[in-house]
Amino acid sequence: MRDFQFHTPSTLAEAHSLLSDYGEEARVISGGTGLINMMKQDLIYVDHLVSLQNIDGLNYIRSTGEGLQIGGRTTQQEVATSGVVHENNPLLTETYGEVATVRVRNAATVGGGVAHGDPAQDPPPTLLVLDASVHAASKDGERTVKVRDGWFVDYYTTGVEEGEIVTGITVPAAPANAKTTYIKFLPRTADDYPTVAVSALGVVDGGVVTDVRVGLGAVNSTAVLAESVAGVLVGKEPTADLVREAAETVRDLCAPTPDFRGSAEYKTDMAVVFTRRALTRVLGLE
């Protein structure tokens, strides 16, 4: 790893002024679980790391009328083990609980998780399904962006702009009668990144599907929301045949990178298979 300077501002204002002083040469560090590995491998060079570790007020989990508000410095393990999260939004509990290992989740933060932009991360497909928003603060103020409005841009590129700090996220609750599931397909080891991942939510009311959402991870350059699924299912009585037809539509969204977890064809086939299983579960066909 190359040399750099490490800054530990104690307020957001100080952090913003460091980020504006050093511009492109600076980068935010939160848990460091993503950044340090990239720096070790010389994938990125940074002259100034601006750490959030001494800034108070960024670690919280609150239940509000708009849903759950979770701080940028809240750890992924805190989300996975929070009673408030589980009560309000079990899909979040399930998803964050699948991230790597206890040890990694204890360091990795929610803000780092939405800023990092690795297409194989667990939280993004679920945040798309739940229509979450990211709060990003710069020296000029704070903006709120829905993750569905293009937050996940490309490999390791997200909506965080230079000088911005993700202070937290807001996650609306799933509809009261919704069933949800997060399926992380792990053919290699239990602590791996997913080969493909499917997050799903479904509501069946009066015998017909009234809401169905599917988010996919590891199948493209970012996590994606499969809007085509609703087109096939909403307004209809759920059946195994319709679920099969709906799952087949996600094939067009898949352009996965072939790697040691499988070829592009294999991953695409698995995305269809696991979408079908997830839909079967959330539409009560099991």
Partner 1 sequence: MTQDTTVRVPVTVTVNGTEYTAEVPPRRTLVDFIRYDLGLTGTKEACSVGVCGICTVEMGGVIVSSCILLAVQASGSQITTIEGVADGEKLHPLQEAFMNYGGFQCGICTPGQIMASRALLEQNPDPTEDEIKDWMMGNLCRCTGYYKIIESIQKAGEVIRLGN
Ligand X SMILES: Cc1cc2nc3c(=O)[nH]c(=O)nc-3n(C[C@@H](O)[C@H](O)[C@H](O)COP(=O)(O)OP(=O)(O)OC[C@H]3O[C@@H](n4cnc5c(N)ncnc54)[C@H](O)[C@@H]3O)c2cc1C
Binding site for partner 1 (CB under 8 A): 1-6, 8, 29, 32-33, 36-37, 39-40, 49, 51, 53, 77, 100-104, 106-107, 189-191
Interface pick for ligand X out of 100, 225, 253, 279 (rule CB under 6 A): 100
Determine the Cα angle at 167 with ends 162 and 168, to 5°.
125
> For residue 259, what are its two tokens?
């790697």
Is 121 an interacting residue with respect to ligand X (CB under 6 A)? yes
CB of 107 or CB of 234, closer to partner 1:
107
Q: Quick one: what does residue 121 bind among partner 1, ligand X, none, with the CB cut-off 5 to 8 Å set by partner type?
A: ligand X
CB of 53 or CB of 228, closer to partner 1:
53
Q: Quick one: what does residue 263 bind among ligand X, partner 1, none, with the CB cut-off 5 to 8 Å set by partner type?
A: none
Is residue 165 a contact partner of residue 112, using CB atoms and an 8 Å limit?
no
Residue with tokens 């809240």: 74
Q: Which residues pair with 157 in a beta bridge?
A: 154
State the CB neighbour count (10 A cutoff) for residue 56.
Answer: 9
Give the whole-angstrom CA distance, residue 173 versus residue 157: 27
Residue with tokens 């539509």: 249
CB of 9 or CB of 238, closer to partner 1:
9
Is residue 122 a contact partner of residue 182, using CB atoms and an 8 Å limit?
yes
* Residues at the contact surface with ligand X, assessed by CB under 6 A: 27-35, 37, 52, 72, 99-100, 104, 107-109, 111-113, 115-116, 118, 121-123, 160, 165-166, 193
